[in-house]
A = this chain, B = another copy of it.
Amino acid sequence: MIRDRLLELREIYRRELLESVVPFWLNYSLDRVNGGQFNSLDHDGTVFDTDKSMWLQGRALWMFAKLYNEVEQRPEWLDAARHIYDFIMRCGFDDDGRMFFAVTADGRPLRKRRYLFTETFAVIGLAEYARATGDETSLQRAADTYQLVVDHRRNPGRLEPKVFPQTRRAKAHNASMIMLATTQELRLAAPPDPLYGEVVDDALDQIANHFLDEKAEAVFEVLGADNERLDTDDGRRITPGHAMESAAFVLHEANARGDDALIPPALSMIDYSLARGWDREYGGLLYFVDAEGKPPTRLEWDMKLWWPHAEALYALLLAYHVSGDDRYTRAFEQMHAWTFAHFPDPEYGGWYGYLRRDGSLSTPLKGGMWKGFFHTPRALWLCWRLLGEMLG
């Protein structure tokens, strides 16, 4: 990639992050009455549902604190982080140390689920907030919640499983990916602990040696408990954007450990995901693909969502950076062009989230119970930072 283009891209990502996405969420999402962050935002920032997702509180806390720690110590970013931190500490936790999944505007619990994702997003948020503030309570809560997640993962019988384990024992790629990503963030804030190495080793083994299937040229999302392929709809499902997100965490670990052996599997994950997920008809990345071309069953399978595109941008740029292979430049430029042509809203700022296959807008929402201040700003920040590194 020529230097002029790197300079140009760096400015595009900086501007999109700091002049569009961050201001949108800073201006419209914070609940100044009850604390925390509203999630359901119309295209112009209007709140259309006041229920709050605890997933998204943890993720937004992480992002605001990360910007403060890594970009610039702007008081309004720390203020937003503190605002969300207070809400999580006040309303996020149940008595058993687990967390609620959704709460009302004023923090009364609506739902608690059997999955532990809320907890992992709180861990990274609390850890990053502790880095920003030196707050010991925040770090301790992050460490305790992490330990709770690890304990549950090692004793899966504690939470009622969705599928009867006596009939079918399965495991999910997202569980390994989230443990890798969560540990990578927590250890930036916490003192060293051998547990982190164990968790990361296990996650890398699961991802690189099992969920990545070199023979099938695919990254599967669900495997049998003994690593066998499941010939079910779930077992054949590929989620290209998710696999590329996972590959970026593996590449970060390759860098952190100085272990180049992790690079080829990560690049395979990106290659296979792009080959299977790029929509040759309309451009953009399909949401779900059946590995054997059997009928898609998830109705949104061919929609274009913001987060797989955000994740693909960074994964492709990082793949280029670690490999120097120009086909990643071409793939990045193609993904960049499609993404920036379809998701950003120059009028009110922020990105749309849900497009139909042809790229037309399916819903004008900018935020919902599944779309918050996370994938887009994280990818913009990571790309901006990497482009800076590439410029030296």
B163 touches A299 (CB 8 A): no
A:300-320 near B, CB below 8 Å:
300-303
* A137 contacts B by Cβ under 8 Å: no
Set B167, B232, B356: member contacting A108, Cβ < 8 A: B167
A295 touches B48 (CB 8 A): yes
* A11 contacts B by Cβ under 8 Å: no
* A354 contacts B by Cβ under 8 Å: yes
Cα distance A164–B368 in the bound complex, in angstroms: 21
* A42 contacts B by Cβ under 8 Å: yes
* A357 contacts B by Cβ under 8 Å: yes
Set B43, B112, B363: member contacting A296, Cβ < 8 A: B363
B295 touches A42 (CB 8 A): yes
Closest residue of chain B to A111 (Cβ to Cβ) is B163
With a CB–CB cut-off of 8 A, which chain B residues contact A43? 295
With a CB–CB cut-off of 8 A, which chain B residues contact A104? 167-168
* A364 contacts B by Cβ under 8 Å: yes
- Chain B nearest Cβ from A257, distance in angstroms: 38
A362 touches B111 (CB 8 A): no
Cα distance A232–B102 in the bound complex, in angstroms: 13
A362 touches B302 (CB 8 A): yes
Q: Mark A23-44, 1 if CB is under 8 A from B, else 0.
A: 0000000000000000010110
Closest residue of chain B to A112 (Cβ to Cβ) is B164
Set B42, B168, B354: member contacting A294, Cβ < 8 A: B42
* A79 contacts B by Cβ under 8 Å: no
B167 touches A295 (CB 8 A): no
Can you list 18 residue pairs at the A/B interface with Cβ under 8 Å?
A: A40-B233, A40-B295, A48-B295, A49-B294, A50-B232, A108-B167, A110-B163, A110-B164, A111-B164, A112-B164, A297-B365, A297-B369, A299-B299, A299-B362, A299-B363, A301-B362, A301-B363, A356-B356
Q: Give 10 closest A-B pairs by Cβ, nearest first.
A: A295-B365, A299-B300, A48-B294, A108-B167, A49-B233, A296-B363, A295-B363, A297-B368, A109-B164, A110-B163
Given contacts A51-B232, A296-B363, A299-B300, 10 further A-B contacts (CB under 8 A): A42-B294, A49-B294, A50-B232, A108-B166, A109-B164, A110-B164, A295-B363, A296-B365, A297-B368, A356-B356
